[in-house]
Structures are given as structure tokens and as C-alpha cells.
């Protein structure tokens, strides 16, 4: 087990790694967006790609992909895109369209500019548990403690506790 790193002096300011700068927000909000045409479609290589709806015929949607190619998808495979004001948002529960593609895109965009994503609701619980895990970790059953902690987080999330 590696030795803990001893830090000297004050803790560095974590703000640049937690919040999107005002300048970056302005850049993101200038991107073109059409709520009726923009969509996410599945892609084997990227997971999801941004497409533009060209036509809808019954259960099939014709989408123009970034490479210039047009492809047909079933309606249930096409997901809506969030407005640019939600680009790299800090709380994904506030997204207008909360779908797999939007969540993946948001995490990916935050990762590219070195922003970490925190699920803030459980931050105090996780912090307390991390302190407790540090003291319990030396015991013979750390995984039982971890499973117990996970169970308590789930119970609090669904307000069972």
C-alpha cells in the first residue's frame, strides 16, 4: 500500500476543477442549436453522435450525421439534445433532457477541459464515510464496511432511512 503524500502549506484552490468559467460558458452558448432538428443517435465508435433530423416517416427518422451521410433510425433510438446553456452543467439532474447520450456528452465535455463531476447531494455522507473508512480499513473486513456504507447511501437516496 502506498504511503500517503504529506502536503506542506495551504491546500490549492479546487475551483478551476469544479466550475465552468464564465468565458467558457459564453463560448458554449454561442453554438448553433435547433431544438426540433438536433438529436443524439447511437454510434458504434463514439457511443452517441450529434445528428440533424432531416425527415420523419412513421417509425423511422432520417438523420444527417457529421460525416455528411444520412442514416435511418427507429424513433426510440433518437434522443433529444439539451440547449447550449446546459453544456458542461454542474448538476445533471437539471438537464432538460436527461438521457444516456446527454449525460455521457456532459461528462465527456467536462473531462476534456479537466472538470470533475461531483454528485453534491451525498458529499457530506461520502466525506464522513471516507474518514470512517480510513479508520476501519485496517480491520480484516473492509469490504463488509464498504457494502454497508453503499447500502446506507442507497437507503438515504430513496429516503428509506
The answer to whether the CB of 56 falls within 8 A of the CB of 62 is: yes
Contacts of 93 (CB under 8 A, 6+ apart): none
The helix-helix angle for 142-157 and 123-136 (nearest 10°) equals 170
Helix (H, G, I), strand (E, B) or coil at 123: helix
Q: Phi, psi (5° rounding) for residue 136?
A: -85, -20
Helix (H, G, I), strand (E, B) or coil at 106: helix
Question: Per-residue confidence of the chain (161 residues) as pLDDT tens digits?
Answer: 567 667 677 777 777 777 888 898 899 889 889 999 999 999 988 889 999 999 999 999 999 999 899 999 999 999 999 999 999 888 888 888 988 899 888 888 888 888 877 655 444 444 444 444 444 444 445 545 555 555 666 666 555 54
CATH topology for the 15-112 domain: SH3 type barrels. (2.30.30)
Instruction: Please state the domain extents for the chain.
Output: 15-112, 120-157
Amino acid at each position: 500500500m502506498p504511503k500517503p503524500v504529506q502536503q506542506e502549506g495551504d491546500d490549492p484552490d479546487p475551483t478551476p476543477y469544479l466550475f465552468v468559467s464564465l468565458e467558457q460558458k459564453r463560448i458554449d452558448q454561442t453554438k448553433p442549436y435547433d431544438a426540433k432538428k438536433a438529436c443524439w443517435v447511437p454510434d458504434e465508435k463514439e457511443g452517441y453522435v450529434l445528428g440533424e433530423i432531416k425527415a420523419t416517416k412513421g417509425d423511422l427518422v432520417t438523420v444527417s450525421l457529421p460525416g455528411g451521410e444520412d442514416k435511418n433510425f427507429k424513433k426510440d433510438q433518437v434522443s433529444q439534445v439539451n440547449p447550449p446553456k446546459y453544456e458542461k452543467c454542474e448538476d445533471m439532474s437539471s438537464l432538460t433532457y436527461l438521457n444516456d447520450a446527454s449525460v455521457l456528452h456532459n461528462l465527456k465535455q467536462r473531462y476534456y477541459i479537466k472538470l470533475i463531476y461531483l454528485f453534491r447531494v451525498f458529499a457530506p455522507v461520502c466525506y464522513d464515510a471516507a474518514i470512517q473508512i480510513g479508520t476501519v480499513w485496517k480491520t480484516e473486513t473492509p469490504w463488509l464496511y464498504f457494502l454497508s456504507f453503499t447500502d446506507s447511501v442507497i437507503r438515504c437516496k430513496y429516503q428509506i432511512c
